[in-house]
Amino acid sequence: MDKYLIRYSCLFLLFFITACSDKTNTLNIAVASNFEKTLQSIVKQYQKINKDPENPLTINIIPGSSGILANQISNNAPFDLFLSADTSKAQFLFEKKKLTHLPEVYAIGNLALWIPEQNSQGDCLKKLSSINTLAIANPNTAPYGSLAAKIINKNNIHVAKIIYTANISQAYLYTKDNLAQAGFIAYSMLEKDAKGCIQVFQDSTLSQSMLLLNKKAEKLYHFILSKKIQNLIHDSGYNTETRLLKNHNQ
């Protein structure tokens, strides 16, 4: 994407969330792209049990790469809650903004290499030698892309063309729509009946932290950490060992 288009898109996004933040019963949630679909399910459940006909709650979900979202928050974008795809960005913001709530790990992601047109047997990494185009999220701003780049370098993989996308959702769409022959994507994005060669990679760098930026989002923050929602997150393709460490039952 052209750098000027990215710049104007970000300005539009900031204008949008600033306008939304004027509403008293509105929450603006910044979320890493890989977790957007799961967060939508969580928000639906949360709104069902937190109905107020006289003052209905509006929750705006703003997805993006963790690095870009963290930069916007660092520059005072009006978000109330930040769900990153790693732990370092939430920790950095916690220290910079001198917040009171420590970041909490809400999920542990899994990276997947997906080659839709290859059979499911064998090592998918070795099959990349016959691939011309590979999609990965920008390693500089997306934790999933950073891990993918490390795997590519460690295994000395050479592909004719690597397509760097703005976030992990775009890497998934490029692969799904055959704009790239293979892609490193978030495992949670794969449909249950997905075909092709799929190889999953687990790594501690994909521990995903949540940061409370505004006290008005505290109830949702604890809801996400509740046993019920941690089970939902687990069923969505994430590891959630952290739910055993703390009890946030509602």
Domain 3-108+207-244 classification at class level: alpha beta
CA distance 204 to 105: 11
Helices (H) and strands (E) in the chain — how many of each? 9, 8
Domain map (residue ranges) of the chain: 3-108+207-244, 110-204
Half-sphere exposure of 108 (CA within 13 A, CB side): 11
Residuewise pLDDT in 10s, the chain (250 residues):
444 344 434 444 555 555 444 457 899 999 999 999 999 999 999 999 988 888 889 999 999 999 999 999 999 999 999 999 999 999 999 999 999 999 999 999 999 999 999 988 779 999 998 999 999 999 999 999 999 999 999 999 999 999 999 999 999 999 999 999 999 999 999 998 999 999 999 998 999 999 999 999 999 999 999 999 999 999 999 998 644 444 334 3
Q: What is the DSSP letter of 241?
A: G
Q: How many residues does the chain have?
A: 250
Q: Which CATH topology does 110-204 take?
A: D-Maltodextrin-Binding Protein; domain 2 (3.40.190)
Beta strands (DSSP E) in the chain are 26-32, 58-64, 81-83, 104-115, 133-137, 161-165, 182-186, 197-212
> Residue 167's pLDDT is what?
94
Half-sphere exposure of 68 (CA within 13 A, CB side): 22
Coil vs helix vs strand at 79: coil
Q: What is the DSSP letter of 187?
A: G
Domains 3-108+207-244 and 110-204 are alike in CATH topology: yes
> Residue 52's pLDDT is what?
82
User: What residue has token string 């909490």?
Assistant: 104
Q: What is the DSSP letter of 103?
A: P
> Residue 5's pLDDT is what?
41
> Residue 37's pLDDT is what?
95
**pTM for the full predicted model:** 0.83
What six digits make up the tokens of 148? Answer: 């993918």
Residues 81, 29 contacting (CB under 8 angstroms): yes
Half-sphere exposure of 29 (CA within 13 A, CB side): 24
How big is the chain by its Cα radius of gyration, in Å?
19
CA distance 211 to 191: 29
